[in-house]
Amino acid sequence: GAVVSQHPSRVICKSGTSVKIECRSLDFQATTMFWYRQFPKQSLMLMATSNEGSKATYEQGVEKDKFLINHASLTLSTLTVTSAHPEDSSFYICSADRPGEQYFGPGTRLTVT
Partner 1 sequence: AQSVAQPEDQVNVAEGNPLTVKCTYSVSGNPYLFWYVQYPNRGLQFLLKYITGDNLVKGSYGFEAEFNKSQTSFHLKKPSALVSDSALYFCAVRALISGGYNKLIFGAGTRLAVHP
Is residue 76 part of the contact set for partner 1 (CB under 8 A)?
no
CB of 15 to partner 1, least distance (A): 23
Complex with partner 1: residue 39 or 83, whichever CB lies closer: 39
Question: 10 Å Cβ neighbour count for 49?
Answer: 17
Instruction: CB nearer to partner 1: give 34 or 67.
Output: 34
44 binds partner 1 (CB under 8 A): yes
For residue 106, the one-letter residue type is P
DSSP 48-86: EEEETTS--EEPTT--TTTEEEEEEETTEEEEEE-S--G
CB 80 within 8 A of CB 19: yes
Which residues of this protein are in contact with partner 1, per CB under 8 A?
Answer: 1, 4, 6, 32, 34, 42-44, 46, 49, 51, 57, 91, 93, 95, 97, 100-107, 109
